[in-house]
Structure 1
């Protein structure tokens, strides 16, 4: 009758043998697992949730056939291990894959071939750069809506992202550029884009960088970069609710930079963050925020002074 078995925080080096076939949830986090072989999950065809975080696992000691008995597995956590590549042989039934805090350097063309139902992949805190993500790795996935690539080694927003992508997290990389048309192939379109704590200075953002997301984008975070002005294309986002541009080097807010003066629809922006730039609030035209629902939703203070800018240059 046993459905759930939690073995976290022990000293297990292998998955215990002869586990009950009724198990739907198995957690062996924070142990010393050194191996997963082709019999480790034998007879566990009812397992839906498997967590193996904080162990000593890698592609070298994880058999590609290890997960094949898990025909109902939906949720797999393998964070805080020693994987350099995404493990092979992942179950076709998988919906969520968590591989945070590993050493993953590449995503091959075939690693997600079987997991056609994937909805979420988290790869934050790894060692990926955009050149090591194969063009056909996941572009044709029809259900993959959320990808977290924060705290990797990316220098630009990766191309060939899934067509179905809705939610993309790229916080804390070294991103300097958003290539033109990088979101153009997405359907129905990207809704949430988090690019906080990168190295965007405006030169790497083209007029076509956000093409394909103008009607879909709901939340855009560009805070804590090195932007000198509001990037072009933002005023064309007709469904934008939340915009973060705080902690940049923006000096002015032209009338048409955030809100399209020719747009006749309802105001859509619910929250706009612009603090910690170099903006003089007295010089911002009231019409610059015509698409914001309430003036109290605009955060303009505090601002940095030119004196602090000169200090950073020195």
Structure 2
């Protein structure tokens, strides 16, 4: 059965912990629709037709640990939309139409470990957008339109293990952009427009096991960095 609208404006199942509404035809969410679901830990809204989110729609879901909004039609996010979700560990925003992110949009998500922003239309990232995500282990940014990265954009992600930036429009990388990612094991940069790499760009990545630079425009490699990777028994792969 397909839902085109949520008609239950006030859910009375107040003990509900998991609510799965994915693969429907929801075009909008009524304001306050989840306000009584204060015990909810998982909310699945993926594969609908949501074009926007009401301001404060998740404010009462303070126990939520997983929120899935992938494969909708979101073009923007309200400022502060995730501010009350302080227990959230997984946030999926992939396969939408996001062109930008509000400054501070993830600042309250200090427990977040997985963030998926792939398959959107992001052209840039706000400075400091990931600074509060100190527990993040997986960050997906592939298939966007990123032309550059802010200096220090990953500096606070000291627990990050997997970073995927493939299929963007990156022509260069900031100096020392990966220096703080000392727990990174996989870095995917394939299908960008990189013409060169900064000296020492991989020097701090001593745990790296997968590095993918396929399909760029590189004419030379930063030899010292690659030597350090190889001496740490790291594999440079093409797949």
Same fold (TM over 0.5): yes
Larger radius of gyration: 1
Question: Which range moves more in the overlay, 69-78 or 153-162?
Answer: 153-162
> What is the TM-score with the length of structure 1 in the denominator?
0.63
The answer (yes or no) to whether the contact 2:29–2:54 under 8 Å persists in 1 is no
- Identify if the C-alpha distance between structure 1 residues 63 and 207 changes in structure 2 by more than 3 Å, giving closer, same or farther: same
Gaps of 5+ in 2: 1-14
The Cα shift of 1:40 comes to 0.7
Q: CA RMSD in A?
A: 2.2
Provide the rounded CA distance (Å) in 2 between the counterparts of 1:173 and 1:182: 16
- Identify if the C-alpha distance between structure 1 residues 216 and 22 changes in structure 2 by more than 3 Å, giving closer, same or farther: farther
Segments of 4+ moved more than 6 angstroms: none
- For residues 65-111 of structure 1, the C-alpha deviation after alignment (integer angstroms, 9 at most, x for no partner) is 11111111101110111212345422121111101110111123221
1:118 aligned to 2:128? no
1:72 aligned to 2:91? no
1:147 corresponds in structure 2 to 163
From 194, 217, 220, the counterpart of 1:199: 217
- For residues 27-53 of structure 1, the C-alpha deviation after alignment (integer angstroms, 9 at most, x for no partner) is 111222232233211221111111101
1:108 aligned to 2:126? yes
1:51 aligned to 2:68? yes
1:5 aligned to 2:19? yes
Gaps of 5+ in 1: 224-314
Question: Which range moves more in the overlay, 159-168 or 210-219?
Answer: 210-219
> What is the TM-score with the length of structure 2 in the denominator?
0.80
Provide the rounded CA distance (Å) in 2 between the counterparts of 1:67 and 1:213: 38
2:237 corresponds in structure 1 to 221
Task: Between the two structures, name the one with larger relative contact order (CA 8 Å, sep ≥ 6).
Answer: 2
Q: 1 or 2, which has the higher helix percentage?
A: 1
